[in-house]
């Protein structure tokens, strides 16, 4: 009797260990268990790309801001007017004033909290030395990790209004 009970316990334990060692193997939906896996030490663990995928070499790179004037096509299509400057001022106060300050002036007496902590925005005098295309590319794509891109927040027309406002800050 003791032998039969011990044998039953050992067999039950063996079945439970074998059956529940990989619980997903008996699960009705086990797609994740039976997939192709990448073994890191195989000679070629890279898979062939899917049909119709785009290669890295075919991406359109973001143009370098310094080459914008050579590329062309970045001329301000919106004439500078009081309406455009006012729209640009509204947008500047929403998206830009946090880092660049109220009038893009580096005045220690009027620094905002971000500027007091060491993030000094570009003054208007320096921004006005840049071309419209350079400013447009900087607003669109950001600047070197410090300035975030505003391409998703501002439409192209709104970006040109902001540039017209910056030009009015002479």
Residue 145: CA count within 13 A, CB half-sphere: 0
Position 157 confidence tier, pLDDT thresholds 50, 70, 90: very high
- Over residues 21-71, the pLDDT tens digits come to 555 556 666 666 666 676 666 666 666 778 877 766 655 556 666 666 666
Alpha carbon distance 100, 103 (integer Å): 8
Alpha carbon distance 88, 116 (integer Å): 25
Q: Any residues with CB less than 8 A from the CB of 161 and at least 6 apart, and which?
A: 78, 84, 85, 87, 88, 91
Please name the fold of domain 78-167. Answer: Cytochrome Bc1 Complex; Chain D, domain 2 (1.10.760)
pLDDT score at 165: 94
Query: What is the 8-class DSSP label of residue 49?
Result: P
pLDDT score at 85: 95
């Amino acid at each position: 009797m003791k032998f039969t009970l011990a044998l039953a316990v050992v067999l039950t334990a063996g079945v439970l260990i074998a059956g529940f060692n990989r619980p997903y193997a008996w699960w009705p939906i086990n797609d994740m268990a039976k997939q192709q896996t990448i073994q890191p030490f195989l000679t070629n663990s890279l898979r062939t790309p899917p049909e119709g995928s785009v290669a890295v070499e075919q991406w359109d790179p973001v143009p370098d801001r310094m080459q914008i004037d050579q590329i062309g096509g970045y001329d301000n299509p919106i004439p500078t007017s009081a309406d455009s400057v006012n729209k640009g001022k509204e947008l500047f106060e929403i998206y830009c004033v946090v880092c660049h300050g109220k009038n893009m002036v580096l005045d220690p007496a009027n620094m905002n909290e971000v500027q007091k902590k060491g993030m000094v925005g570009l003054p208007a005098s320096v921004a006005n030395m840049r071309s419209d295309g350079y400013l447009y590319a900087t607003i669109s794509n950001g600047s070197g990790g410090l300035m975030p891109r505003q391409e998703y927040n501002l439409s192209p027309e709104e970006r040109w209004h902001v540039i017209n406002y910056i030009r009015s800050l002479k």
